[in-house]
Structure 1
Amino acid sequence: MKDMPLTVKRSIELLGIALIGATLVIASDIIMPVIMAFFISILLLPVYRFLINKKFPEIAAILLPILLLAIFLGLIVWFFSAQVGMLVEDFPEIKKNVSSHLNAISKWISSISDFSTTEQVKFINDKSNDLLGMAGKAASGAAVTLSSIFVFVGLLPIYIYLMLFYKDILLRFIFMWFKTDHHPKVKDAIFETEAIIKNYLVGLLIQVTYMTILLGGILLLIGIKHALLIGVIFAILNLIPYVGALIGNIIGVLLTLTSSTELWPVITVLGVIAIVQFLDNNILMPRIVGSKVKINALFAILGVIIGGHIAGVSGMFLAMPIIAVLKVIFDRTEVFRQWGVLLGDERPAKSPMTFASFRKKKPVPAKAGVEKTKEKD
């Protein structure tokens, strides 16, 4: 590998990236549950080790953390479904408020254009029929999507159990890929990867909790209807970097519009979301996660978009921890160190174009053919 020309090395790297991307796209339904299970296994490792130290049987030490995680997720689903149930109970009032907003929009459109109310109603009816047709087509594939979700959820605890049970075999497999001289670096990379994943996932769980309490609590005190539901939805969507916050703002505005005929609640919701998000991004989350691995915004957004394209919502959630783990690996290998630099946000103090190796102190001599042409001219 060392004797290969640089262009061949780079070509092999790019080919490897293309093959990995193609594999993820083709086999995302198989690979994504395994990756998700791997991250959750890392998250449950401290509980597993604690139980082992307390002389619990190994099987019990594996099953108890999985059971606790299932109970925790079940409570989140119950809380979310309860909030949605309250929203459904207010459906008559929501229908009335939506009609009021639509009438106001219709009058405004009529005042600035020749598009009459009758034409607007006809346009809405036509588009509604189109949407119903699209919904019918989408419903035909809903059973397949729902079944894939059940398979995903069903396989996840099995994968987690087996990864914790066979973790020593997996570690031995990793060490056997490297020479004995490189084992200390491999060990450091494994420890740092575990710390990053653990801090990131625990931080996300804490973030969902305090975002729901802060945002939902403040909106509830102000008197915004469905405040806790707005808080839960925004907190969960905020786990998706950059994109999730935008979608959360839009959903928060829509929920507020459906529960009120006035505009001040919408402005209040946007203002409270902005304040809570500022506190989250600049004060709370950096202290909670405390990760030394920094990913630049460009590749964070690209990672989220690519992850969503490959594996949907689960790919968007997993994009950041996967990129962070890759950066740890790249930073510790000479061959791939440039990729670690590309993913990070450590900006150089000066432009690389100003480095001495890039500057040409002497004029570059022209080629012989060019000099002869100049002499003839």
Structure 2
Amino acid sequence: MLGFDAGTARKVWTAFLLALLFFIIYIASTTVLVVVFAVFFSYLIYPMVALVERVRPRRVPRVASIAFVFVVVVALIAVVGSVFGVELQSQATRLVTQLPALLRTDVPDRLPLPHFLEPLRERIIDFVRSQIETGSDKAVPLARSLGLGVVHAASNLIYLVLIPILSFLLIKDGENMREAFLALLNRPHRMLWSEIIDDLNVLLSKYVRALLFLSLATLLCYGVAFSLLGLPYAFLLAVSAGLLEFVPFAGPLAAVAITLVVAVFSGYPHLLWLVIFIGLYRLFQDYVLNPYLMSEGVEVSPFLVIVGLLAGDQLGGVAGIFLAVPVIATLKIVIGRARVFYAASHEQGEAARCALTGQTDDET
């Protein structure tokens, strides 16, 4: 009755360590998030580092080539921000300034609603307008809250500096860190985790670069189409859609909703053409471009994606939504590899026992 089962103890100890690990990650969520963004940034930069490595003279150290790539990328980001940031800020300021006035006009009367909501149109419009009028009384508290938010964000600018620094160190010492981790494991588990790390490397490289290409494609296509269609605030809406593309599932839906709301309340006359374009583009991206870029390694069940997005929103807000899909895909890889590994180990153990039993019977 008081016997000690070593196998059960190991399982309990493993479960305790996993729970402790998740607790530590939750407590140090900000640090973990910075590291995760650094990893993602590393995967974006690494193809350029590999390209420079091919033409690097032997006498030039590898650190110099990595530093050169980082300097070029940071300078490019700064130039793009300085060139387009002014126009982006101008359109955002103009939209915030003009939207309350637009909402007080007859534009909301032309807002398309489902048939079953038509009897409630006047109540809905009155409610929206009352909220706008009430909001004008709260302008000062809102401005104060916004100012505090800006100060809080400015205090966290150190993380924006840490992300490229950590990315530089990851690219520089990534292989040594991998070997040091694998050296801590015994031979069978070393093979298992080596395969898991290789799969995760492929997964994250495809996922991060696919998100970048999808974001750039959305920014370019929306920007060109919105400009040709004469949509107000075209550049602002295109940039917003491109950034929201990094948030799986919920981001593109939010971008479509924001675009249509701004178009309606701005009195845009070609709303039908806008809806047709957005519908055709989403079909192309969701069923052609996205599967081609993501490939099979990043496929996750839609049910798990929705559940993961809801859980990520509760645990980490926007950051949790952003990380939901890669975390689920990572767990899928780890569980799949572990299941194959332990199934193979069990089969080998059974075969060894059968061979030993057969040898004993022959000797008898």
TM over 0.5: yes
Q: Percent identity?
A: 19
Residue aligning to 1:246: 253
Partners of 2:260 and 2:106 lie apart in 1 by: 13
> Which one of the candidate residues 78, 95, 102 is aligned to 1:97?
102
- How far residue 211 of structure 1 moved from its aligned partner, in angstroms, is 1.4
Q: Is the 8 A contact 1:80 1:229 kept in 2?
A: no
Residue aligning to 1:4: 7
TM-score by length of 1: 0.72
Partners of 2:288 and 2:199 lie apart in 1 by: 23
> Which one of the candidate residues 68, 80, 91 is aligned to 1:64?
68
Residue aligning to 1:289: 294
Q: Is the 8 A contact 2:183 2:190 kept in 1?
A: no
Residue aligning to 1:140: 148
Query: Does residue 1:233 correspond to 2:240, yes or no?
Result: yes
Residue aligning to 1:357: none
Partners of 2:102 and 2:216 lie apart in 1 by: 31
Secondary structure at 2:299 match in 1 = coil
Q: Is the 8 A contact 2:43 2:208 kept in 1?
A: no
> Which one of the candidate residues 329, 339, 346 is aligned to 2:334?
329
- The two structures, once aligned, show a CA RMSD in angstroms of 3.8
- How far residue 331 of structure 1 moved from its aligned partner, in angstroms, is 1.6
- How far residue 198 of structure 1 moved from its aligned partner, in angstroms, is 1.2
Q: Is the 8 A contact 2:256 2:278 kept in 1?
A: yes
Secondary structure at 1:334 match in 2 = helix
With over 3 angstroms needed to count, the CA separation of the structure-2 counterparts of 1:87 and 1:35, relative to structure 1, is: closer
Paired residue type of 2:254:
I
> Which one of the candidate residues 153, 164, 180 is aligned to 2:171?
164
Residue aligning to 1:176: 183
Residue aligning to 2:36: 35
- How far residue 23 of structure 1 moved from its aligned partner, in angstroms, is 2.4
Aligned length in residues: 329
Q: Is the 8 A contact 1:293 1:324 kept in 2?
A: yes
Q: Is the 8 A contact 1:42 1:198 kept in 2?
A: yes
With over 3 angstroms needed to count, the CA separation of the structure-2 counterparts of 1:43 and 1:114, relative to structure 1, is: closer
With over 3 angstroms needed to count, the CA separation of the structure-2 counterparts of 1:69 and 1:289, relative to structure 1, is: farther
Partners of 1:251 and 1:182 lie apart in 2 by: 49
With over 3 angstroms needed to count, the CA separation of the structure-2 counterparts of 1:83 and 1:42, relative to structure 1, is: closer
Secondary structure at 1:100 match in 2 = coil
Paired residue type of 1:33:
V
Q: Which residues of structure 1 form unaligned runs of 5+?
A: 106-110, 339-377
Partners of 2:192 and 2:322 lie apart in 1 by: 28
> Which one of the candidate residues 267, 278, 281 is aligned to 2:283?
278
Query: Does residue 1:44 correspond to 2:45, yes or no?
Result: yes
Partners of 1:164 and 1:144 lie apart in 2 by: 30
Residue aligning to 2:196: 189
Give runs of aligned pairs for residues 195-206 of structure 1, distance below 5 A: 195-206=202-213
TM-score by length of 2: 0.74
Q: Which residues of structure 2 form unaligned runs of 5+?
A: 111-118, 344-364
Residue aligning to 1:269: 274
Q: Is the 8 A contact 1:32 1:315 kept in 2?
A: no
- How far residue 170 of structure 1 moved from its aligned partner, in angstroms, is 1.0
Secondary structure at 2:338 match in 1 = coil
Paired residue type of 1:274:
G
Secondary structure at 1:333 match in 2 = helix
CA shift digits 1:268-291 (9 cap, x unpaired) = 333322221111110011112224
Residue aligning to 1:353: none
